[in-house]
Amino acid sequence: MIDDELPATETPRQGVEVIRAQLATLPGSPGVYRMLAADGEVLYVGKARNLKNRVTSYTRLTGLTERILRMVERTASMEIVTTHTEPEALLLEANLIKRLKPRYNVFLRDDKSFPYIMITADHDYPQVAKHRGARARPGDYFGPFASTWAVNRTLSALARAFPLRTCTDSDFATRTRPCLQYQIKRCTAPCTGRIGRDDYLAIVEEARDFFTGRNDDPTKALNQRMQAASERQEFEEAALYRDRIRALAHITAHQDVNVSGLGEADVVALHQDAGQTCIQIFFFRAGQNFGNRAYFPRHGADEPVDAIIAAFLAQFYDGRPVPKQILLSVAPEGPALIAEALGIKAGHRVELAVPQRGTRKSLVEHALTNAREALARRLAESASQRLLLDGLIELFDLDGPPNRIEVYDNSHIQGRQAIGGMIVAGPDGFIKNAYRKFNLSDEIAKGGDDYAMMRSVLLRRFGRLVKEDPEQKTENWPDLVLIDGGPAQLKVGEEVLAELGIVDVALIAISKGPDRNAGREQFHRPGRAPFTLEPRHPVLYFLQRLRDEAHRFAIGGHRARRSKAVGISTVDEIPGIGPTRKKALLMQFGSARGIAEAGLADLEKVAGISTGVAKRIYDHFHGEG
C-alpha cells in the first residue's frame, strides 16, 4: 500500500482550480501528464489517449477514489508531454514512474537487473560466462534468469554438458598448461591446444542450440558419437560423451516446472491479501524454467487488480527484453494497448493471454500458488517486523518507527584490502538492492585504523546524500544509523554528521560486551550512558541480526577483494586444504561458491574430508571470520 498518505481534510477545490486552469491549453492528443505538489514533488504520472478529456476527469470530484482525491488536493502545478501515439504515452509513463517514484502511482519497488548467460563472439574460442548489465560485448545472451543462484546452477550443469572455457581472455592468452577445470572435465582446454578450433566451435554451437531450443533432443547426436567411439574402442572418448549425456539429463530432471513447446514466455500471477499484492513471475526460455521472482508493488488500497497488473507489466518490461508470450492469471487494464506498446518496444508481436485450460493454465496456477505463499510469508514477517521497529522507538527515543535503518561495518586484515559495508533494513526486512560496499585505500586503512576507515565510509555516504538530496525529501535518508563499534566509533559518527550539518538522524553504536559474548552487547548513544538488554529480549535479537548481516556483507566484500588482489580462490585461504582436497571439493560442488553454500553434512561426504576438516571449511564461510 502507499505509505504516509495524508488525510483529505477538505474538498480539494484548490487543486481542482489548478487543474482546470490547465484545460484551456491542453491538446486532444496522446501524452503524459505530471501532477506536482507545491514543493515540486511529483505526486502522480498518468497517460492518456486524449489529454484534454483525461485531465478534465479530475475536476469531477464525485467520480474519484479517495486516493485520487488526496492527490488532487495536493496538486499545485502540472507538466504535460505530448506523444505521437497512445502506446508511446504508455511507455513514457512507465519510464517516468520508475524514475520519479510518484507517491500516488502503482510503483514497482524492486528494480534490480537480471543475470544472463553470455557466449562471446569476439574470440576464436568463445567464452561462456555470467553477465549482468549493458550488453556491450558481442555475443549471444540467454536469459533472463531470476537470480544469481539460478544462473550459477545452470552454469555449473552447463559446464558438464558443454565443457566450454569460462576463463577471461587474458587468462586464456597466458595459460601454459590446463587449469583445474580441465582436470575435473568441465573444460576442453583450448588454451593449450587440447582441442581443435573446429571441434570446440561444434560444442559452442551445441550449447547455442540447447539454449535456443533448436535441437529438441540434444542427447541424440551425443549418443551416436558415444556408440561410434565405443566401436572404435576409444573408451576414454566414449566416457566423455557419456558424462555429457548424463549432465544434460540432470539439467532436464532438475527443472521444477518444464513444458515442452512453450518456447519463450513469462508466466505472471497476482495474489492479494490484507491490502497487499504479490506478483510472481516465472521465466521460460526454450521450454526451460529459468527461475522465478516475487514482487510486491506499492499501490493504494482502492487500486483495482487489472490496473495493478497493467502498471506492473509496463514498468517491469521498461528496460528489459520482452518475450513473445506473457501468460497471466488476470487480464490487465487495456490489454490490447499494453500488447501493442510492448510489441513496439520489443520489435516483435507480443501475446498477452489468460489461459483457461491445459498445461498453460497449470503453469499459471503454479505461479499463483507461489504468489499466495510468498505474500503469506511477507505478511507474517511484516507483522513481527513492525513490532520490532516499534520496540526501537522506546529503546532509542525515536520519533517513530524507522522506515530505513543503515548499519555500517568494516573488514580488513591489518589494513589490507579494506572494505566498508553498509546494509539497509526497513519495515519489510532487508533491502538488499540498497546495500553498498566502499573500497578503502591502503593509506586510509594503514595499520588497521578502524576509526579512520569508519570516518571515510560515513563521509562518502552522507556527503553524497547531502549533495544529491540536501532537503532530505527522498527515501534514501536513514532514520536510524547503527555502527558496529563502541564509544570511539560513535564519536567518529557524531563528528561526521556534525561536519556535514546533519542533525536529525539517530546514531547508535553496538559493541560486544565483556568477553565479546553475543547477548551481552552494549548500546551507545550520544550523551547517554551505555546500556544492555536482557539476553532474550526480542529487540536484541533483531539488532544482533542487523549487525551480523552488516558483518557478513563487509567480510564477503573483503574476501572478494583479497582474492582478486592475489589471484586465488577463497578455498585456498582455508588452512589444511591442499590441491587434492581442493580438487575433490570442486568435483563435488562445482565451484568455490558451491563449496561456500554447502551444508556441514554435505562437506563430510566428500572423499578425503574428515569431520574436523569439514567443520573448518564450514566455519570459514559461515563463521565470523
Per residue in 587-602, pLDDT tens?
777 777 778 878 888 8
Single-letter residue type at 364: V
* pLDDT at 251 > cutoff 90: no
pLDDT tens digits, one per residue of 174-230: 888 888 888 888 899 999 999 999 999 989 988 888 887 765 566 667 777 777 777
pLDDT average, residue stretch 358-366: 91
Determine how many CB atoms are found less than 10 A away from the CB of residue 291: 23
Highest averaged pLDDT of the listed ranges 5-9, 93-97, 149-153, 246-250: 93-97
Cα pseudo-dihedral 117, 122, 127, 130, rounded to 10: -30
Helices (DSSP H) in 138-260: which residue ranges? 148-161, 169-174, 180-183, 197-212, 218-231, 235-253
pLDDT band at 156 (very low <50, low <70, confident <90, very high): confident
Position 446 scores a pLDDT of 65
Least confident of 14-23, 269-278, 433-442: 433-442
pLDDT band at 78 (very low <50, low <70, confident <90, very high): very high
What domains can be seen in the chain, in order of their start residue? 13-100 (3.40.1440.10), 145-253 (no CATH), 265-376 (3.30.420.10), 405-562 (3.30.420.340), 568-622 (1.10.150.20)
Cell reading at 467: 549533495
Position 376 scores a pLDDT of 87
Query: Does residue 144 have a cis peptide bond before it, meaning omega lies within 30 degrees of 0?
Result: yes
User: Which pairing describes strands 128-131 and 276-285: parallel, antiparallel, or unpaired?
Assistant: unpaired
pLDDT tens digits, one per residue of 546-559: 988 988 888 876 56
For the residues of 227-252, what is the DSSP string, one character each? HHHHHTT-HHHHHHHHHHHHHHHHHH
Mean pLDDT of the chain: 84
Distance CA 85, CA 151 (A): 38
* pLDDT at 574 > cutoff 70: yes
Please list the helix, strand and coil fractions of the chain in percent, rounded to the nearest 5, in that order: 45, 15, 35
pLDDT tens digits, one per residue of 119-137: 999 999 999 999 988 888 9
| Cβ atoms of residues 340 and 87 within 8 Å | yes
Q: What's 594-610 look like in SS3?
A: HHHHCCHHHHHCCCCCC
pLDDT band at 264 (very low <50, low <70, confident <90, very high): confident
pLDDT band at 4 (very low <50, low <70, confident <90, very high): very low
pLDDT tens digits, one per residue of 163-185: 899 998 988 998 888 888 888 88
pTM for the whole structure:
0.63
